[in-house]
Amino acid sequence: GLGVGIVGLPNVGKSTTFNALTKAQNAEAQNYPFCTIEPNKAVVPVPDKRLDELAKIVNPNKIQHSTIDFVDIAGLVRGASKGEGLGNQFLSNIREVEVILHMVRCFDDGNITHVEGDVNPIRDIEIIETELIYSDISQLEKKIEKLKRQAKGSKEAAAMLSISEAVYKHIEELQPVKTFEDKDSELFIALDKELRFLSNKDVIYGANVDEDSLAQGGNDYVNTLKAHAQEVGADVIMLCAKIEEELVGLEDDEAKEFLTDLGVKESGLEQIIQKAFDKLGLQSYFTAGEIEVRAWTITKGTKAPQAAAVIHNDFEKGFIKAEVISYEDFVALGGEAKCKEAGKLRLEGKDYIVQDGDIMHFRFNT
């Protein structure tokens, strides 16, 4: 479930973006021999400059990034929740993901038809988001039917019924579940966990622009989108999907030069990946050895033994202690031995909450 689903109307640049992500996957695919390659899923390395800094010190044979899954959910159109096209099937695919990347067309191009006739980011967003709400409404209707039958004999069901009806009242007005007022209640959390409301998911808007707008730092469409995003508390990242596709194949310094020539600081796709990683509540810790310098993905707040389990279950079962060096110390002092000398290597126990960027070495019983 910990993935990002790409949605948006037809012809806004979803496939182009997904192709760029797939290329990023394939560029590192030899590092992930156990990942099956699926046509609509990309397992994408999370850019992290700290890995390069660590590699300069350790000189490993290879570097391995954290990854996140992006899923291409093409096919959402007006009416999807009523079964237009393969609407309902696509909507159920969105239920599986944790974060939505909503691609929005912010470029003019007379040769590329817009399904709604003209370019209008806010209208486009509303079409998609309304379909998500409709889908939530129909899920919730089924749930309420069932709860009504169960409520007679069960207090629990009766309580669930009352929260379900409160949510229903809210979304019936075509408001997203996200703005429902009682979201911190245990009952709501349980309901959301079960139904995985589409209109309650975190959203990143991908503003897809043309080259010129990218170089100029935006355009009117992007400004409108940003204003809207600010109102609803979402993030906007501007990118030119076509350029991202070209960038992915390049070496780091070539890519940098390419971006500089365009007058752009950072790849939009990389920003999206990083933002998504953060929205998923994920962070990385590192292991730094001569064989590999590697980032391991954990959810924020994970304790040392469970972080160790990401490498191997036995590390958790036989966990004794973790040797920990902060990233800053490791880089400032120039590696493990020097950190040890300076007293910057800490021994932490099973309650230690792993921090973003920690360099970890686990001691365990076999």
Is residue 12 a contact residue for ligand GDP (CB under 6 A)? yes
CA 314 to CA 149: how far, in whole Å?
A: 46
Q: Which of residues 16-35 bind ligand GDP (CB under 6 A)?
A: 16
CA 73 to CA 10: how far, in whole Å?
A: 11
Stretch touching ligand GDP by CB under 6 A, among 5-13, 60-68, 160-168, 337-345:
5-13
Amino acid code (one letter) for 78: R
Q: How far is the CB of 323 from ligand GDP (least distance, A)?
A: 47
Among left, alpha and beta (phi > 0; psi -120 to 50; other), residue 97 is: beta
Say if CB 64 and CB 74 are below 8 A apart: no
Q: How far is the CB of 275 from ligand GDP (least distance, A)?
A: 19
| 165 phi and psi angles, rounded to 5 deg | -70, -35
Which residues, in sequence order, are bridge partners of residue 362?
Answer: 322
CA angle 311, 316, 320 (to 5 degrees): 115
Is residue 241 a contact residue for ligand GDP (CB under 6 A)? yes
CA 69 to CA 98: how far, in whole Å?
A: 10
Q: Which residues are annotated as a binding site for ATP?
A: 11-16
Q: How far is the CB of 207 from ligand GDP (least distance, A)?
A: 10
CA 293 to CA 81: how far, in whole Å?
A: 46
Q: How far is the CB of 22 from ligand GDP (least distance, A)?
A: 12
Say if CB 4 and CB 97 are below 8 A apart: yes
CA 341 to CA 129: how far, in whole Å?
A: 56
Q: How far is the CB of 333 from ligand GDP (least distance, A)?
A: 45
Stretch touching ligand GDP by CB under 6 A, among 11-19, 260-268, 291-299, 353-361:
11-19
Q: Which is nearer to ligand GDP, 191 or 243 (CB)?
A: 243
Is residue 14 a contact residue for ligand GDP (CB under 6 A)? yes
Q: Which of residues 130-149 bind ligand GDP (CB under 6 A)?
A: none
Single out the residue of 25, 67, 139, 208 in contact with ligand GDP (rule: CB under 6 A): 208
Single out the residue of 84, 210, 292, 348 in contact with ligand GDP (rule: CB under 6 A): 210
Note the residues at the interface with ligand GDP (CB under 6 A): 8, 10-16, 74, 107, 109, 112, 208, 210, 240-242
